[in-house]
Amino acid sequence: RVKVADADHYAEQGAENVAALVVAQAGGYTHLLAPATTFGKNLMPRVAALLDVAQISDIVAVESADTFVRPIYAGNALATVRSVDAVRVITVRTTAFEPVVDGGAGAVEAIEAGADLGLSTLVGRELTKSERPELAGARIIVSG
């Protein structure tokens, strides 16, 4: 199921407003996941704090409903972590998982937008271009 809240204050995807919306919709869910992108890493700690649970960052494998594998020591080692929280708030390294090829899109459900908290305003966006590839998104890295 895809839930859509349409409001002007979500246009720039401010983490404060989106986190409040995610928490408002979190009832009945045991796992809340986001990609380990700049946006996901900005959003999910706020969600975890509002729910008073620990966040599990950058998982690369799922061992069970409460046990996950994540890199530590700048990726030089892997840690297996278990969460005892009722709701698991997780960021996922998407390149660690095979893409889903079947299943299609879920049903779209319109939901009521939350109020604009007015806690932050985007004043500008500066994009940088690099000749080098983005290593965080690479499936294979060859060096030497």
Cβ distance 70 to 78 under 8 Å? yes
138: in domain: no
91: in domain: yes
Q: How confident is the model at residue 75 (pLDDT cuts 50, 70, 90)?
A: confident
The position carrying tokens 């969600």 is 47
pLDDT digits (tens, 9 = 90+) for 104-144: 778 899 988 888 887 777 777 787 777 777 776 677 777 77
C-alpha span between 80 and 98 (Å, rounded): 20
Domain that holds residue 98: 2-115
**Rg of the chain's alpha carbons, rounded to an integer?**
17
141: in domain: no
121: in domain: no
Residue 16's domain is classified under what CATH number?
A: 3.40.50.620
* Domains: count for the chain: 1
104: in domain: yes
Q: Is the whole-model pTM more than 0.75?
A: yes
- Provide the 3-class DSSP secondary structure of residue 119: coil
27: in domain: yes
Tell me: pLDDT of 78 over 80: yes
Q: What is the pLDDT of residue 102?
A: 82
List, as one string, the DSSP characters of 39-55. Answer: HHHHHHHHHHHHHT--E
